[in-house]
Amino acid sequence: MTNTYWDSNVSGTITAGTTSATAVTTAQLQSALPTGFSAGIWGIIADDGTNPNGSYPYLLAFNSSVPRVISGFIPNAPTSSIGLNGQTIQLAYNGSNISTVTTGNDGFYYFQLTNGTLPDSSAFLVYLNNATEKANAVVSAPTSGGSVTLLDLANNTLQVGVTNSGTLSNTLLGTAKGSLSSTDILYSVSSGNLTLGNATNSTVQFATSSTTTYNIDGNISYTSGGVGNITFAGPINLTANSTVTAGSNGSNTFASTINGGFGLTLSAAGGNTLSGVVGGSTPLTSLTLSGGGTDSINGNITTSGNQVYNDVIALGSSAITFSSSGGNITLGGALSWSGSNTLALAASAGNINLNSSITATSGTLQLTAQNATSSITPNSSAAINLANFILSQGQWYQVGSGSLPTFAISTHFSIVSGAQFIRAINGAGTSLSPYQLIDIFGVQGIGSTSTTLADYYQLNNAINAAVTSNWTNGFVPIGSSTTPFTGTFNGQNSQIDSISNVVINNSGTNVGFFGYANNATISNMGLTNLTITGSGTNVGGLVGQVAGSTTLTSSYTSGSVAGNTVVGGLVGLNAGSISNAYSTATGIHRTAVRTD
């Protein structure tokens, strides 16, 4: 015999009496035709250096076209506890085992199929047969008769896809398995629903490759008592309303995008991770995260319907938007992030329900909900601790029954025109039941809409408003000439500092704690250590302009008030009734200054 070779990786030691054969590695034998092999008789799919991903030499007489190679290693090679040599590997297609091979000395397995045996784009199953360890892989056959190499099997794992790109689904996994009933196969499919594990093997890890697009066309869950994680490394398309449930204490991980006009529910005691954009090209109809773990979200989420987050949520470091064009957004678990990025909750045609705390001491929360009564409802557990808060649209309604959760905004608080903000410890905004305010945020909310400007208020306690020095332009005067304050405000005790350390920087007209009051009632107010910096007209410490039948009684101010014309420590321009009121405010007053 001449020009004979043996694979030293696969075959082990050479048998005595055949020492004329040349020992070569798998990579060497698959890289090119060996010396002495005629290209007119032999063919080869050359290894490109990613070992081993070529073919062994094959006879052209038996292969009129390039054969399809399926190859890889068994679990844990080369240190498997089951022994590497002689393990049986089955290749199944359309519910039938179409080829069987055994592993070599290093755990390498190798199928060489005549082209056409396995159709292009068909799903096929490779599984370890009758071994202590269980390992499956389902792959989509490449087009143009391409090979699938580096298909390494992992213990107790259903590997979906490999380095070649392709599309798979629950249904296609079911097609590959067909009616095969071996307990070596770690899954089953019924009516599009994928079940992981079986009666004798309940531990299964499910993992797709980054180059595989997976169409979720039904539920994915575990057999009773099943254990394992579900990991999608590649993109997801939803083609049916689906629930994905991880194994006991397991996790669900989506490393890429999720799209499709269907609803998705994720449940994992070990947490759900969404690393990519959800609904970016095709919004989901709904999304629900649950299971009791901590969920990590690192990309925007867009749905046409409801979004429900029942778990604790940790956000990534980039700006993130949860957007629903036609449904509600509900936060049921504590939400937090450590960076300075912004979380935007946008339910432009629905409600936002805050049922737990939100913490981001360097971050920003922006809320957008429908303009309807109580469209943003924080419950008694919704403690807020943020650097910045922006209410862009909607009606924040938070009225307690004797207590309220923390609402702490360290840097900037903003209510965009048209949005409404009500935060009070008690009350209904009526003469018999005025809103009882406990912080400067609730006070600022008075000026948010014409409705709140007409309500009844009283202070429940003294308020230190020093935080307004951090707000852009400071506290926004309550009421303007177009939307004046027409309600009733009782500071409760004019001889105690009702509100202290308010800062206002405003260049407009009618600037003061109340900008413009018309037919209003203001009483028992003590504003101390004010800092009002204005450059317009009608600037006052308590009220910029008092109009109509407004009455201002038993009130006083101190601090600094500055403006251009018609400036006063208590009021700027007065056309109403003032009694038992005074000011000790000083400052840089320009022309037509009132001393009150």
Render pLDDT for 487-538 as a digit per residue (tens, 0 to 9). 999 998 745 679 999 999 999 999 999 999 999 999 999 999 999 998 899 9
Q: What is the pLDDT of residues 408-450, one digit of tens each?
A: 999 999 999 999 999 999 999 999 999 999 999 999 999 999 9
Q: State how far the Cα of 171 lies from the Cα of 190, in Å rounded to an integer.
A: 8
Q: What is the pLDDT of residues 193-220, one digit of tens each?
A: 999 999 999 999 999 999 999 999 999 9
359's tokens: 């913490």
Cβ count near 582 (within 10 Å): 14
pLDDT at 19 over 80: no
Q: State how far the Cα of 310 lies from the Cα of 289, in Å rounded to an integer.
A: 6
Backbone angles phi, psi at 442, to 5 degrees: -65, -35
Q: State how far the Cα of 439 lies from the Cα of 424, in Å rounded to an integer.
A: 8
Q: Looking at residue 53, what is its pLDDT?
A: 73
Q: Looking at residue 545, what is its pLDDT?
A: 98
Q: What is the pLDDT of residues 339-376, one digit of tens each?
A: 999 999 999 999 999 999 999 999 999 999 999 999 99
20 band by pLDDT with thresholds 50, 70 and 90: confident
483 band by pLDDT with thresholds 50, 70 and 90: very high
Rounded to 5°, angle at Cα 393 from 337 and 261: 70
Residue 225 burial class via C-beta count within 10 angstroms: exposed 0-12, middle 13-18, buried 19 and up: exposed
Question: What mean pLDDT, rounded, does the chain reach?
Answer: 92
Q: Looking at residue 52, what is its pLDDT?
A: 66
Residue 373 burial class via C-beta count within 10 angstroms: exposed 0-12, middle 13-18, buried 19 and up: exposed
Q: Looking at residue 7, what is its pLDDT?
A: 83
**Contact in structure between 242 and 284 (CB atoms under 8 Å):** no
382 band by pLDDT with thresholds 50, 70 and 90: very high
443's tokens: 């006070």
6's tokens: 């043996």
Q: 273, 299, 270, 304: which is closest to 287 by C-alpha? A: 304
Q: What is the pLDDT of residues 543-594, one digit of tens each?
A: 999 999 999 999 999 999 999 999 999 999 999 999 999 999 987 554 444 4
For the chain, the C-alpha Rg in angstroms (whole number) is: 36
188 band by pLDDT with thresholds 50, 70 and 90: very high
Domain boundaries, the chain: 1-64, 68-228, 453-596
Domain 68-228: what homologous superfamily? Carboxypeptidase-like, regulatory domain (2.60.40.1120)
Q: 137, 53, 133: which is closest to 92 by C-alpha? A: 137
Helices marked H in 339-456 — which ranges?
440-444
In the numeric block, the tokens 């490759």 are attached to 209
The model's pTM: 0.91
